[in-house]
Amino acid sequence: MTSRVWPIRRLVAVIGTLALGAATFGCAVPPPEIPPQLPLAATRIPLAITADSLFWRTLRAGDYEGIPRALSTLQAAYLQNPADAQTAAHVGFLHAWRIAERSRMAQNSPLITDDAILARRYFDQSESHAPSYDARIHGFDAVFRMIEGDIHRDPELWADGLSHGREAITAWPEFNWFTIGYVLSAKPDTSAYFREALEMQWKTVDACGRTKVDRANPTAEIALGALRMESDPLRKRACTNTWIAPHNMEGFFLNMGDMLVKSGNWRTAQKVYLLARGAQGVEGYSTWPFQDVLDARVRDAEQNVPAFRRDNGLLMFGSKFSCSACHQTVVR
C-alpha cells in the first residue's frame, strides 16, 4: 500500500543521523520569531506563507477554537499547490492537534476519527513531495497509521505504522522515541508495548543528557547538564526548548511522569515531574501555562496510579493539552 513512498525512507534511515543532520537540518538555529521551516519547495505561493504564519500563531497560542480558520486558509493554499510539502504537513498537524486534544470539546463526536485519516493522508502527501527526508513527518505519519489501525481494528495497519515508527526512531531517535512512545502510552500498563514505551522515554533522557541517568534518582544536573554545551543541532532541537516547541522539556517530563505513575512507580514519577520545574536551563518555565497541572500531578502521584491505569483520558496523551503542553506559550 505504501511502497510508493517508503523504500526511500528506509534507505535514508540507514544512512543515519549524521548525514541526515547535514542534509536536512544543517542550517543554523533560526532567530526568534521567524518560524523554522520544513525543507521547502522551490517556489511557494503567497497564500502558503500567509497560511503558515496563521498556523504558527494558532498553535503557539493554544487556540484550539482557531483550528477551522487556520485549516481553511492552509487548505486553500494546498489546493493551489498540492506539491508544497510544508503546507501539506501543516494541514496534517492541524488534524492531528484536533483529534489529540478532542477532550476540549464539550461533546465528543464519533466524526472526530476522520481527523486521524486526514492527518495521515496529508503527512503521506507531504513526504511524497518533500525535497528531502524529514524524520518528524515520518514519525507523525507512522503514529497516525497506528491510531488509524486502532480505530478500524486493523492490526496489520497498526503493525505497519509501528514498523515505520521504528524506522523514524533510527533516523532521529531523540525526537521519535518520544513520539512513538507517546502513542504507546495508551496501551495497558501490563503490556510489553507500554513497558517499551516507558523505556523509550528513559532512552531519550540518556541520549539527551549524553549519560546513563540513575533511574532511581534522576537529577536535573545529570539528566540535563550536558545540554548546556550541546552543539549537535538534532539533539538540541529534540531535547531543549526552541521556537518550534517552546515548552518541550516541561511537556516531555510531564508525560514521562504520567507514564511512570501509570507503571506504578509513582515515587520516581514525582522526581521526573520535578525535572520540568527544577531543570537548570529550562528557560521559560515561568511562562509555561501548565504549572498548576504539574503541581497537582506531584501532589496526587500515588492516588493517580489506579486512575491512570483505568482511564487513558487522564494521562497527558489523552488530555486537553496533549500538544499544547509543549507548543503553547500564551496563558489563556
- In the three-class reduction of DSSP (H, G, I as helix; E, B as strand; rest coil), residue 107 is classed as coil
HSE of 43, CA atoms in CB hemisphere, 13 A: 3
Distance CA(120)–CA(178), nearest Å, equals: 18
- What grid cell was written down for 39? 525543507
Tell me: does residue 252 bind ligand HEC (CB under 6 A): yes
Of 134 and 160, which CB lies nearer to ligand HEC in the complex structure?
A: 134
Which one among 178, 266, 288, 290 touches ligand HEC, defined by CB under 6 A?
178
Query: Where on the phi/psi map is residue 210: left (φ > 0), alpha (ψ -120 to 50), or beta?
Result: left
Burial profile 276-298: b = 16 or more Cβ within 10 angstroms, e = fewer = bbebeebeebeebbbeebbeebb
Choices 89-97, 201-209, 284-292, 295-303; region in contact with ligand HEC by CB under 6 A: 89-97
Of 185 and 265, which CB lies nearer to ligand HEC in the complex structure?
A: 185
Of 72 and 190, which CB lies nearer to ligand HEC in the complex structure?
A: 72
Measured at the CA of 1, the angle between CA 123 and CA 181, to 5 degrees, comes to: 50
Tell me: does residue 13 bind ligand HEC (CB under 6 A): no
Of 55 and 266, which CB lies nearer to ligand HEC in the complex structure?
A: 55
Measured at the CA of 71, the angle between CA 69 and CA 75, to 5 degrees, comes to: 125
Tell me: does residue 327 bind ligand HEC (CB under 6 A): yes
Of 176 and 268, which CB lies nearer to ligand HEC in the complex structure?
A: 176
Choices 162-170, 284-292, 294-302, 321-329; region in contact with ligand HEC by CB under 6 A: 321-329
Sign, Cα dihedral of 9, 140, 312, 159: negative
Which one among 219, 242, 291, 312 touches ligand HEC, defined by CB under 6 A?
242
Tell me: does residue 326 bind ligand HEC (CB under 6 A): yes
- The CB-of-3 to ligand HEC minimum distance in angstroms stands at 26
Sign, Cα dihedral of 189, 202, 285, 57: negative
Query: Per-residue x/- mask for ligand HEC, residues 96 to 115, rule CB under 6 A?
Result: xx--x---------------
Tell me: does residue 237 bind ligand HEC (CB under 6 A): yes
- What grid cell was written down for 139? 514519525
What totals of helices (H) and strands (E) does the chain contain, helices first? Answer: 16, 0
Of 7 and 29, which CB lies nearer to ligand HEC in the complex structure?
A: 29
Tell me: does residue 136 bind ligand HEC (CB under 6 A): yes
Residues that bind ligand HEC (CB under 6 A): 36, 38, 89, 93, 96-97, 100, 136, 175, 178, 237-238, 242, 244-245, 248, 251-252, 322-323, 325-327
